[in-house]
Structure 1
């Protein structure tokens, strides 16, 4: 009987068992990032922290309640609101108006909307909230909400000046910063969001998602999502029921991570063997339910939380609803840039659910059994990374866009911690409404895991074909000891084909076997190994000509000399995986030296080009090979000849220039063209030498 059960479990996953990925020590044995009070980590509570009672708020003589670097707090004296009394507009402190308004008992949803309108202007109708409280809820449940839960929410919200007396720093773009808050402080912020007390500013709203629940209360225009909105409100109400009945005692850390372009991995040079990364591929289960102890990926919007406070009800929104403490990040995390990610550690799960999208339903209260780390955080770590939305799916195979997704995943997965890193629990990142290719995203995340030193736990969400195909392809990578650089080179050529995205695995396999037969065209006609392009840091060396056209000279020079996109100090950056030595590269210049073709031809060494081709073909015993090796600078002279005389037609005719730009393999040319090209080049330089 035990063997039969074991066999049935085996059918749900392929690769390495989850137990083996955890090294037999269980999912909670992995290392965690510490909480250290530094200039880059803001801690809003006092040490030491125990689980016996909530941490005390940290109080400082420096108070920041209303400036550009901090959240504009509702209780700030600068938070003013115009009130019309006796046909006269009077300016009042908004916090006093809030406290006075909410001190009056509220017994219906209409009274609730009326109260919020007294300290907000031009609010939409709360049709979704009215429908939820009056239609979805039973009379008894609605009565409990207005008599017990709502008064406790109001009482919790009004503690804001005591629980967060110094304000909240903003986690701005192009900075690596961390912020740790107690769960009690987070519950107070969410209570204020429920009551819509945070001031709204148009300039801030364009880059910060916003936290007030106004849009959720009024999301009633899409009939097919009305049920989902009600289920979200059930989850939120259950969260407030829990935290107002039993105050949580843990803490949560939000870390915004940024790596500049010059410090990103060189994907075309990494020699990590992809087969050394363990994979566990499961067709059943969920990231949050079965990826316990892992770095769990949130398929995010660049505005974290996406449509959680509106109609959205897919992977990210569901995660934010079952773990409402994530919603507070919308208050202080600015919109994510290309090389940025957010990692949240310590959130607690309060709700169970079923369904997805239109079928989402709250499935009752959830008791989170996740243990705490040494810093009193739940051992739940969530990686928030946003994928690109592709209107034309074929575009995602452009080199620049593959690099963008690789870098985004790498930022999320990389950590300064070394040894015993948790595996990444992920799935079809950006493959739903964003039209990403499942085959491509599996490889991108595998490469990012390998570069980050983490194993991969992949959930296909019921897609058996993806499970089978991905696992077989992983075996192919491991058996042939294919590296990140090799896989990158194969992926970078896929767009030039007419194959559909489901043929990606087959294309890479065929490209690998073809590359084993013959050297590439570049090996025959290319430049010497040591070139400026190969020494450039970051993704520049692997960029195509198309990518260079879209990059300014200033941006290229920033990458070349190792400058970053931020004014942060080097201590504020994620450590580079590349050598620290910055290559010395001559500055770009608009001036151009004009040389005649006759002078260049005179300076060409008297070299037997056929001997060089013999050498490249492996016939090193033929006479003249050593002379050719001694005069290998001939290739550099040929390049200079081509550039200065602008006679590309000779090289286009020979198929050489095309080979350089597209890096096509020698076997992609027919044998006739290849042999003819060799003969023409040999004949040409024989005449030149004479």
Structure 2
């Protein structure tokens, strides 16, 4: 781990245009779309392959299942309501009767929904929509690799049911604590900041208006991916040089990561607070791409070795702002091309970070390894395993979850390296982080630091943090980037500009200046 000769060595920049993007980066085509033991398809696959026409559900008639392995469907014969004056009655028949009547306004709609949710009559306040679905939907259960593929039309039917709060046993997190809520009742309530929910509802209503005028004809795939025991890298033995990096303080994942694997800074219950008060990175992505909300229907809580891939979800809404400043900004036409299965070439991975009670606890070795393994699981391929697109990410888990931006950036670069991906990293307006990350990555590449050597540097710094009596972000304590720079014998400096890119094989000298210290506020991000 010896530094190379001088800071004047010349290396070539890597431009964002040089990052691998789907579908052009793949050297092989997708195999034919067909069901298997771990891949359930909810429609009849056309013999001639995907075309821009609506597909037909499969089977043609409803197949009723009412058990813990499947979504409890509102149209099931087992979905019944006890009667005081006779035998139990079908809840679905009641739903059909109510929703097929004329509903002239908001108050009549509220009465209709409450008529088959009488238990919640004193708790819910809300508005609007209907429809139904055909066959039982298997849960993407914990601990198993599994896929679920459906048409956008089927997704629309299911979301309409969620809008009308028809899903039984799903009005709150279920008793086992593994499934999030899916009915929209919480989104309709007045709890929290009503302005946030109003802006979300504008996005939802626009989605339904779009599909009412023209039903989309594409396909969606949801994949629960599991990192098997023993499959994680042994990080202190990984001898690969670091992946190429493009880092910028401008831009965002959904707009500038087209064709790349896009990170969703997720809650372990996917979607986080999308149906409630939450409105940060994950919730924003879910309301501008409402088909992602459907993942909550069949995705139990993510475990430490699991992530969820969402492939093909279309964007319907534009927006401005973030959190309290978020506003619906009108309709959005998603022109992303489709793959051979009829899916938009948009792949988003829900990857949940640890929530740290104390900021220094994240430097414990077990916590670092957990985050490395989670990111590695997220960055692995599912349908392809080589020549993968770059991962487009940012300050994962660095807001309310108290992650250190320096540590999380390096963890993701290490994980992407082992997964065979380049990294496109957005700092979301944090120019200081952008400049420093460029310099640190350049120093590491210039000195040919491998993953195992970077892991050792982080471990050495972590031991210092844990052994310090004072908090590690106090002004007299080095940041992780400062520690690495000093260990490599180079000062950490700043430069003007908003975007710098360096390849793992090439580095351009940054010059020299005095190193800097920051307090904890510099390491917070507006992300979970």
CA-CA distance at 1:422 after TM superposition? 0.6
CA-CA distance at 1:207 after TM superposition? 0.9
Give, in whole Å, the separation in 2 of the partners of 1:328 and 1:437.
Answer: 31
**Partner residue in 2 for 1:194:** 163
1:68 and 2:38 correspond: no
Contact 1:45 1:56 in 2 (8 A): yes
Give, in whole Å, the separation in 2 of the partners of 1:358 and 1:205.
Answer: 32
1:506 and 2:506 correspond: no
Equivalent runs, 1:350-361 vs 2, <5 Å: 350-361=316-327
Pick the aligned partner of 1:16 from 3, 14, 18.
Answer: 14
- Per-residue deviation, residues 72-108 of structure 1 (Å, max 9, x unmatched): 1111111101345xxx365201110100111221122
Secondary structure at the residue paired with 1:306? coil
**Partner residue in 1 for 2:52:** 52
1:80 and 2:47 correspond: no
Residues 76, 27 of structure 1: alpha-carbon distance in 2 compared, 3 angstrom cutoff: closer
Pick the aligned partner of 2:344 from 351, 365, 378.
Answer: 378
Pick the aligned partner of 1:182 from 138, 151, 174.
Answer: 151
1:221 and 2:191 correspond: yes
Q: Normalising by the residue count of structure 2, what TM-score does the alignment of the two structures yield?
A: 0.83
**Partner residue in 1 for 2:137:** 168
Secondary structure at the residue paired with 2:116? coil
**Partner residue in 2 for 1:469:** 436
Contact 1:15 1:278 in 2 (8 A): no
Residues 205, 104 of structure 1: alpha-carbon distance in 2 compared, 3 angstrom cutoff: farther
Give, in whole Å, the separation in 1 of the partners of 2:61 and 2:98.
Answer: 30
- Per-residue deviation, residues 224-245 of structure 1 (Å, max 9, x unmatched): x211110100100000011121
Secondary structure at the residue paired with 2:141? coil
**Partner residue in 2 for 1:239:** 207
- Per-residue deviation, residues 587-615 of structure 1 (Å, max 9, x unmatched): xxxxxxxxxxxxxxxxxxxxxxxxxxxxx
Secondary structure at the residue paired with 1:19? helix
Equivalent runs, 1:297-376 vs 2, <5 Å: 297-376=263-342
Pick the aligned partner of 2:373 from 393, 407, 428.
Answer: 407
Q: Which has the higher contact order (CA 8 A, sep 6+)?
A: 2
Equivalent runs, 1:562-601 vs 2, <5 Å: none
Give, in whole Å, the separation in 2 of the partners of 1:200 and 1:419.
Answer: 42
Give, in whole Å, the separation in 2 of the partners of 1:397 and 1:445.
Answer: 15
- Per-residue deviation, residues 511-569 of structure 1 (Å, max 9, x unmatched): 4569xxxxxxxxxxxxxxxxxxxxxxxxxxxxxxxxxxxxxxxxxxxxxxxxxxxxxxx
CA-CA distance at 1:200 after TM superposition? 1.1
1:250 and 2:218 correspond: yes
For structure 2, the 5+ residue unaligned runs are 1-11, 491-528
Secondary structure at the residue paired with 2:355? coil
Give, in whole Å, the separation in 2 of the partners of 1:373 and 1:251.
Answer: 10
Secondary structure at the residue paired with 1:253? strand
Give, in whole Å, the separation in 1 of the partners of 2:313 and 2:478.
Answer: 37
Equivalent runs, 1:435-584 vs 2, <5 Å: 435-497=402-464, 498=468, 499-500=472-473, 503-512=479-488
Pick the aligned partner of 2:400 from 433, 445, 457.
Answer: 433
Residues 270, 301 of structure 1: alpha-carbon distance in 2 compared, 3 angstrom cutoff: same
**Partner residue in 2 for 1:116:** 113
CA-CA distance at 1:63 after TM superposition? 3.2
1:266 and 2:263 correspond: no
1:29 and 2:24 correspond: yes
CA-CA distance at 1:40 after TM superposition? 1.2
Structural RMSD (CA): 2.2
CA-CA distance at 1:504 after TM superposition? 0.2
**Partner residue in 2 for 1:290:** 256
Q: Greater helix share, 1 or 2?
A: 1
**Partner residue in 2 for 1:633:** none
Contact 1:301 1:385 in 2 (8 A): yes
CA-CA distance at 1:502 after TM superposition? 6.2
- Per-residue deviation, residues 5-42 of structure 1 (Å, max 9, x unmatched): xxxxxxxxx952111124xxx76413386544221111
Structure of higher CA gyration radius: 1
Give, in whole Å, the separation in 2 of the partners of 1:502 and 1:194.
Answer: 50
Residues 126, 371 of structure 1: alpha-carbon distance in 2 compared, 3 angstrom cutoff: farther
Secondary structure at the residue paired with 1:95? helix
Secondary structure at the residue paired with 1:430? coil
Residues 62, 80 of structure 1: alpha-carbon distance in 2 compared, 3 angstrom cutoff: closer
For structure 1, the 5+ residue unaligned runs are 1-13, 131-149, 515-690
Secondary structure at the residue paired with 1:262? coil
CA-CA distance at 1:123 after TM superposition? 2.0
CA-CA distance at 1:129 after TM superposition? 3.7
Residues 64, 271 of structure 1: alpha-carbon distance in 2 compared, 3 angstrom cutoff: farther
Pick the aligned partner of 1:398 from 350, 354, 364.
Answer: 364
- Per-residue deviation, residues 92-132 of structure 1 (Å, max 9, x unmatched): 011101001112211222221111111113326687747xx
Give, in whole Å, the separation in 2 of the partners of 1:127 and 1:198.
Answer: 15
CA-CA distance at 1:493 after TM superposition? 2.2
Residues 62, 89 of structure 1: alpha-carbon distance in 2 compared, 3 angstrom cutoff: closer
Secondary structure at the residue paired with 1:249? coil
Contact 1:64 1:168 in 2 (8 A): no
Aligned length: 462
**Partner residue in 2 for 1:230:** 198
